[in-house]
Structure 1
Amino acid sequence: MTHGVHAASAPKAVGNYPHARRVGDLLFLSGIGPRDPATDAIVGNEYFADGRVRRYDIEAQTRAVFANVRAVLEASGARWEDLVDVTVYLTDMASDFKAYNAVWKEFFPDAGSAPCRTTLGINALPTPIAIELKCTASIAGK
């Protein structure tokens, strides 16, 4: 049996899906982006008058994504330390990987206890964000 999780402290999903779904001892998070849960604004974006993105701050977006992942984990009864696998989507791998990787190291200073990670460079995401995370956590005994 599975059940979906909707985290009140995380931004609303941009589609008709839960923030996470528990299946046995695993928790699968839907793609999580850097939107502010209170305002739905994309953290770190600056816009031109016509609404196009002028610039973005990948470090601010990374921190916001991590905060949103943590909120979904906590709403699911899990902890940051329960993450076992993370897929990272970056829209500009060449420009953003180094800064993203530095923030990752702040949050996971010990590579031996960090979750597995795959980082992919992609052309676009559904909203004007530069990063999205897809995570799996182990919640055995919770």
Structure 2
Amino acid sequence: MSKYDHHDKETLIRLLERRDAQRQLGLVWEREDDEVRDRAINDDFVALALDEGDGFFPDFVVSLTERKQADGVALLEVKGNQWWGVSHEVEKATVKHVDYGDVFMVGRERGHRDFIHLRKLGDKLESAGAFDIARMRW
């Protein structure tokens, strides 16, 4: 027996509405592999196309209540520093989704604790300052 079995429909709706109003951040993660892409047949899966026609799938789809883009969604790609000079990874830092805007690139150097925002500078990714979720609101 569930702890909700004794509630009537109206009470359950109020409980759900209160829970939804209290949630500040939602997070969905999909592994970047062929099996996941093959099973992704609904509108909840986010993919972006690169100029040469290849696609990529952001590591995280984050929902921020104060973000102005569609439904508060921000796309986040995490990169270890071994990828910061790889051309197809660097190009991802310049991609914009038609609804959700810029893809936020973050990473950290091996052995370091703190994450940083990354931006394309020349042919590699460079630090754009300390990671702060507040920067993803715009």
Structure with the bigger RCO (C-alpha within 8 Å, sep 6+) is 1
Which entry has the higher C-alpha Rg, 1 or 2?
Answer: 2
TM-score (normalizing by structure 2): 0.30
